[in-house]
Chains A and B, each alone.
Chain A
Amino acid sequence: MADAAGIRAKKAPPRLPVLRGRHDFPEISGRISAVVLDGKLPRLFWVAFFVCFAFVLLFLYSITYLISVGIGAIGIDIPVVWGTMISNFVWWIGIGHAGTLISAVLLLLRQPWRASINRFAEAMTLFAVAMAGLYPILHLGRPWFFYWLLPLPNTHMHWPQWRSPLVWDFAAISTYATVSLLFWYMGLLPDLGVLRDRAKSRFAQLFYGILALGWCGSAFHWARYQTVYFLMAALATPLVVSVHSIVALDFTFAITPGYHSTIFPPYFVAGALFSGFAMVLTIAIPLRWAFAVEDLITLRHMDNAAKLMIAAGMIVAYGYTSEAFFAWYSGQPYERAMMAERAVGPYAPLFWTMLLCNCVVLQLLWLRRVRLNMPLLFSIALVINIGMWLERYVIVVTGPSRDYLPSSWGEQSLTWLDFGILFGSIGTFFALVFLFIRILPAITIFEVEELAEEKGGAA
């Protein structure tokens, strides 16, 4: 523990502690579990929840409409047969990644400041992946046959076509979802024990008791638990990189101009973290304010997240540049024309807005004042979320809309359904986050206690 403390001492300037004030363990576990057990939530919480629920209904309606009428109801056409479904998918997957990064990578790097935010970051991952997982299915012309991507015996005696990036996607996404779930549940085990022991109502005791699997904090358990937890983190890290690289390969693999670019995998991963941290901030800032846990989720966390955002954002900006450069450097007329069209063609407004959101606004974060100004940081995070969605949409549509034969050039025009499904999924995502906050501890009790202990805060 000494070295961990040492790292902390180096990493954390005294002005921005990971944990503010002195806490003893009962107080920590009490405060955190109170949110769940007593269920005394601010009215604002419920207002927000029901707003989101309205969007859940919109989501359900849109999906029903889509499946009963046909995929033509969204603004796709020949040549641009991919549209918002794909950009939404990539966007959500990206958002998921920050969660895994915080929980896994920072764990491996023994970053103490992850402790109080990793739980909801992982939850965020889970829900984001859930949203993302829907899109490739809704995107299909015949969604009810999506399971043909699995190597199941079927009426056609066929196998999946293993060379298709979509099959890799299927493997990657399902693996990612499973691993994230296991990792998240494993992290929850000790805290479920806490809730079990603190629960007053019989139902709560049974509910959390069953989920806790009889965890009692035995030293032997702890030892094995930590070993595997670290191993899982070690697995999740390459996984998270592979998942978004594979998503990027959906594009790279295609010969369409603007898709066919080897820079995509790394630059998509960076983009994923970029948007992911934006989403972490979008959730954390209101959360810590609404539940008055500024002393557990401190400015230090916000500051670090913001710094990571700059880092990722600059890589993304580099990605844009090299994409443009290599389009020119390749000497391919098709790539060049596509890039030019992106800048001046029908999708130019989206393109420039994207650059504004993702590259220009980002630069504000160099200023410490900005990083520590929560309302401002929050709005920047929102802007970046929008910018990253635009990035994905621009990538998806501009290539095919200006591909090899000018005779088939054309644009797509979005319909209400494109937006219904996008905003529906956003609402559903936040509704899930709210439910999670209501029934599970949003902050990892045992790690915060450990933190407090290392800080010598134990009474």
Chain B
Amino acid sequence: MSAIADRQPDLAALRLAAAGREPWRGLDELADTAEFRRFVEAEFPATAERLPLSLDRRTLLKLMGASLSLAGLTACSEAERIVPYVHQPENIIPGKPLYYATALASDGYGIGAVVESHEGRPTKIEGNPDHPASRGATDAVMQAAVLSLFDPERSRAPLKQGEPASYGDFLKEIAGLAGGSIASGGQGLALLVEATTSPTAKAQINALKARYPRLRVFRHDPLAAGSGEQATAKLFGRALAPIYHFDRADVIVSLDADFLGDGPGRLAYARQFADRRRVRKATDTMSRLYVIESTPTITGAAADHRRAVRPSAVESIAAAIKAALEGDNHEAEPAWASALVEDLRGAGRNALVVPGAHQTEFVHALAFAMNARLDAIGNTLEFIEPPDALGTDGDLASLCQAIAGRLVDTVVVLGSNPLHTAPSDIDVRKAFSDLKLLVHWGLYRDETAFLARWHIPAAHELEGWSDIRAYDGTASIVQPLVEPLFGGKSLHQLLAALGGEFNADMQALVRRTWAAMDEPAWRKALRDGVVPNSTARPVAVGMAADIGAGARRVSADGPLEVRFVADPWLRDGRYANSSWLQELPRPLSKLVWGNVALISPATAQRLGLGNGRVVNLARNGRDLDAPVWITPGQPDNTVTLSLGFGRKIGSVATMAEGYDAFALRTADAAWFADGLVLTVRDGSARVATTQHHQAMEGRAIIRHATLDAFRHDPHFVRDGAPTEPTESLYPDWSYDQEAWGMAIDQSACIGCMACVSACQAENNIATVGPDEAARGHEMHWLRIDRYYAGAIDDPDIFFQPVPCMHCEKAPCEVVCPVNATTHTHDGLNAQVYNRCIGTRYCSQNCPYKVRRFNFFGYQEFDKQSAGPQQAARNPDVTVRSRGVMEKCTYCVQRISEKRIRAQIENREIADGEVVTACQQACPTQAIVFGDLNKKGSGVAREKAAPHNYALLEELNTRPRTTYLGKITNPNDRIAGKSRAEAANG
């Protein structure tokens, strides 16, 4: 037996087995595990065969001695070698953070990250500028990784039928299993994996397949949509993944694709998209975006023309456009489509049609065909081998069939949580209960873990070694920031164990995959966070003539359609236990701590529904209750439900209100379906939102104009806006050193909320929970206001990030009776927490309402009760106590750090040296921060733009934070947008 074959003592496994146990209790457990027997064989070969199963006194004493010494071994586990991004680990200076490059997984794809580590505590995630999927940016979910790392509710020990057990026992059982499988060729053994792009994982799985020919591998990935693969397979003969180049596109048509907010390439795409639309002077050009979507998304909000259509209608519209594009008569129906087609033709190679990942195979086919027709393939659109390609024997449904057919009796669930995320027409519980052995590997003891015979805690992505590919195939090495806090195991260790390799070392398993790299290359890859030239080459494709036909037909208005979306933060519910993400307002609805059923105003009117009114939604005999939320821009007769809520496990997750949308989801209609029956219930549910009023009330808050209007009047932000007072009663203060300021480009802001999440992580901002949030006590220093303008059914949607304005004539400071908020020499509006007594006059007098108050003691100061999550706090930022006011500080801790460095090096602070947390996270670089006194600094240049204006400038508060008016590029052939001409607010 190979398990016994490798002779060397399995110290690692033994160490683990003895980990944290008192030697006395450890004794018998240790004594009869497979490794112990092997250990003894190796260490005391003589005694090996004499080792009896029933112990006599003398052996007992021997073993006691042995186990004692083993217990000691736990103390001297040598640290993993991890390579710092900029510094060597050995020169750790207390108080000076180190930065390590790694990559975080998003739906199985990698996004490069640089993690800030204070004395071994990862405290902040930043984007990796060298990584194609990040380019220095992060999203809200990545920011929360440090919080989930320290989540005290992560499973802390292997569980055998719910009882804490030793990993050794597990390995023993696996060893038995492996032994059996070798004989049977893996008969009855099945793996249930998530989408993964990890080369190591793939290699291991293939090795396992080789080892156990009859091993079955199934893939369950509730948020994956296969229609793209199928379409490409049909069109190009093999499954391919599209790569878009929005920076090359002049005209973009999105067929229900939320490329800015969803998908593994979203950060890179957002960056390209914004770069192509950055207008500073009249000669600049920008791309034009048409979005046809079935529920409001931030991509739709960024569109120049947005059409809300029922999900099932996208197909026919796409077909109509394609017909018009290929036909000679450009007159397409509906009318606006013909203008769109004109544009597409005009753009030619620089046009791009993007299909929505969840849309039908035919929509993908249509989109690719149109791109081919426009000769865009190879320019704005390329195809690569799908990075997550993995030969599987089907999905969860087929697994359950296999179990029912007695073909599978042992399932190892790797990561996913099918009991919560399975389509409602698949009874996973029943299927899994018939199993002989169910093993679950995951971060939490979730629904599946409760059912499993064995639950093995997973190592967090900041704890384990791995590797992962980005949306464009670029590979990164995932290196741990800390030793596994709760003894978690990496995916690779588990796969290795299945292969009979029980003492596999996390790093070694990954290194093996990249054996081709020599040590310097390996270290460089670790340091840079990317494996050089691992990016997938685009493959040349020939378009098939016949692109098939639409399977589904548009259902006429009448029966409601349901559209499923993943919650932008909780995804399929895996992040539901993160209070940061629960309390982060959703980009458009601004809802926190719960999900709702989105309906259009017209539909609400027809059904006589108001916000928060509970309705029952039924389909195919399954139903759920949800509060409705009237959403401008939502297509009529379409109800959008979001996945990820309604969890029954996890103290944070269960705090949230909301329903479990998986209850209504079926395998055949994973993303949208018709035949939804809505019945109104009595009473309504509390829905917590952070923005109650949606209109600008005709105030010049977000000033916007079309590109033409801008060219013809670059100073459009002044039109119709209240004039800015030129002088003040008071003499101006001079700021002879730095004068920090910020400029926010509203044309670039896509409202993705990354900045808000980054601010929360950087500044130790407390979460307050659903009840407090519903009372308007939320604490975010930076908020993104979302306004609707125009027709309520087809509104223009605007985003405006609102941090502290750091007014030079700050109204808040004058009214503070105790000098708790005053101005610094470099023009910051400082808040002195320990000086504040909480009169709240400052907030009362802040026209921007950017100040936040600790109405209760939101932060835990007692070390004991604070728990592990206090480790995620930023040591450079004060944790605020009850009764004090707080607000955006322009990340003063970062400014001071850079100033100190500059003073040590006896130089001025360079432009762009100080980067605020929000600025760093922003995928579209909408935020620019810097020194206004420095000639030609980035921020000075932005503020010099003709459409730069200050919010509420007529109040003469002299804000240091200013905005660039939003510039859109609508097609003047399409009516309805003309009202946007230089319309301020």
Contact = CB atoms under 8 A, between A and B. Distances in A.
A–B contact at 8 Å CB threshold (below): yes
Contacts of A333: 697-699
Nearest to B885: A141
A259 B840 CA distance: 15
A78 B776 contact: yes
Contacts, number: 167
A100 B284 CA distance: 71
Given A161-B818, A166-B815, A255 B837 contact: no
Contacts of A409: 692-693
A141 B853 CA distance: 9
Interface string B824-842: 0000000010111111110
Contacts of A410: 692-693, 776
B180 interface: no
A69 B856 CA distance: 7
A42 interface: no
A77 B852 CA distance: 9
Given A141-B885, A166-B815, A333-B699, A403 B849 contact: yes
B336 interface: no
A354 B695 CA distance: 30
Contacts of B840: 76, 81-82, 141
A148 interface: yes
A255 B810 CA distance: 11
Nearest to A409: B693
A404 interface: yes
Interface in B621-639: none
Interface stretch (A152-160, A198-206, A238-246): A152-160
Contacts of A73: 856
Which of A145, A255, A337, A405 gathers the greatest number of chain B CB atoms within 10 Å? A405
Interface in A141-174: 141-143, 145-146, 148-149, 156, 158-161, 163-167, 170
Contacts of A78: 776-778, 843, 849, 851-853
B816 A164 contact: yes
Nearest to A334: B699
A6 B737 CA distance: 74
Contacts of B203: none
Contact of B848 (A141, A400, A404, A413): A404
A72 interface: yes
B352 interface: no
Given A70-B882, A82-B844, A140-B837, A158 B776 contact: no
Contacts of B695: 406
Interface residues of A, number: 52
A408 interface: yes
A141 B837 contact: yes
A146 B838 CA distance: 10
B819 A72 contact: no
Interface string A112-147: 000000000000000000000000100111110110
A254 interface: yes
Which of A161, A170, A259, A413 gathers the greatest number of chain B CB atoms within 10 Å? A161
B857 A70 contact: yes
B856 A407 contact: no
Nearest to B850: A408
A82 B844 CA distance: 7
A275 to B, nearest CB: 23
Contacts of A79: 776, 843, 849
Contacts of A318: none
Interface string A397-434: 00010011111111011000000000000000000000
A207 interface: no
A76 B772 CA distance: 11
Contacts of B29: none
A202 B854 CA distance: 56
A254 B802 CA distance: 21
Contacts of A70: 854-857, 882-883
B815 A164 contact: yes
A71 interface: yes
B848 A405 contact: yes
A405 B785 contact: yes
Given A70-B855, A72-B777, A255-B955, A408 B817 contact: no
B697 A337 contact: yes
Interface string B179-198: 00000000000000000000
B697 to A, nearest CB: 5
A139 B840 CA distance: 9
B494 to A, nearest CB: 46
Interface in A382-409: 400, 403-409
Which of B697, B816, B836, B839 gathers the greatest number of chain A CB atoms within 10 Å? B839
Interface in A245-271: 250, 253-256, 259
Contacts of B819: 158-161
A407 B692 CA distance: 7
Contact of A71 (B698, B775, B852, B883): B883
Contacts of B838: 71, 140-142
A393 to B, nearest CB: 15
A168 to B, nearest CB: 9
A404 B952 CA distance: 8
B837 A142 contact: yes
A98 to B, nearest CB: 28
B815 A254 contact: yes
Contacts of A164: 814-817, 841
Given A78-B777, A407-B787, A71 B701 contact: no
A406 B692 CA distance: 8
Nearest to A412: B776
A170 B817 contact: yes
B841 A166 contact: yes
A121 B694 CA distance: 51
A106 B777 CA distance: 49
Contacts of B701: 405-406
B901 to A, nearest CB: 28
B845 interface: yes
A407 B585 CA distance: 13
Interface string B751-783: 000000000000000000000100111100001
A238 to B, nearest CB: 24
Interface string A53-80: 0000000000000000111110011110
A409 to B, nearest CB: 4
A171 to B, nearest CB: 11
Contacts of B835: 148, 156, 158
A255 to B, nearest CB: 5
A88 to B, nearest CB: 15
B847 interface: yes
B696 interface: yes
B802 A255 contact: no
The 4 A-B residue pairs with the shortest CB-CB distance in the complex, in nearest-first order? A141-B838, A72-B855, A141-B883, A77-B776
6 contacts: A70-B883, A141-B838, A141-B840, A141-B883, A161-B818, A407-B787
Given A140-B839, A334-B699, 8 more contacts: A70-B854, A78-B852, A141-B853, A142-B838, A148-B817, A164-B816, A407-B785, A413-B775
Interface of A: 69-73, 76-79, 81-82, 136, 139-143, 145-146, 148-149, 156, 158-161, 163-167, 170, 250, 253-256, 259, 333-334, 337, 400, 403-410, 412-413
